[in-house]
Structure 1
């Protein structure tokens, strides 16, 4: 698969006012749900998508096949929106 990383100028941070994790980019904010934040926390440009799925499956005690589609969809969506870069 691929090696996702945050796009230049994008960062993951905890927003106290929203009481949740957000992706901050120039002039926009994307609020993440708990699972989205867990996925993005593993996005470092060095970890393949398959390894992210494996780590989440172990953490949440869920089948990898069940998680893989959701992770791939989230990564693709954020890449389309210019928040992630895929290598």
Structure 2
């Protein structure tokens, strides 16, 4: 479950027996993981929001690491 912590001003990924503090735009990426969008659609959305950012390389890698950890499917 993704939540925003107003006190810390950051996003949190809440899992059974674990809380992950998300930094930078990690929360923005995870908000787009809604079960309907594929990675390409997520990359396209973020590329539109953040022109010039290297989302095409970084987002698939980030999501791959989260899958490996078992934090997302």
TM-score norm. by structure 1 comes to 0.76
Counterpart in 1 of 2:12? 22
Return the offset for 1:16. Answer: 2.6
Which of 52, 62, 65 is the equivalent residue of 1:62?
A: 52
Unaligned 5+ residue runs, structure 1? 1-10
Question: Distance between the aligned counterparts of 2:72 and 2:61, measured in 1?
Answer: 12
For the aligned residue pairs, the C-alpha RMSD in angstroms reads 1.3
Structure 2 gaps of 5+ residues are: none
Q: Distance in 2 between matches of 1:29 and 1:17?
A: 15
- How far apart are residue 32 of structure 1 and its match? 1.1
Q: Greater relative contact order (Cα 8 A, min sep 6): structure 1 or 2?
A: 1
Q: How many residues align structurally?
A: 73
TM-score, with normalisation over the residues of structure 2?
0.89
Deviates more, 1:73-82 or 1:47-56: 73-82
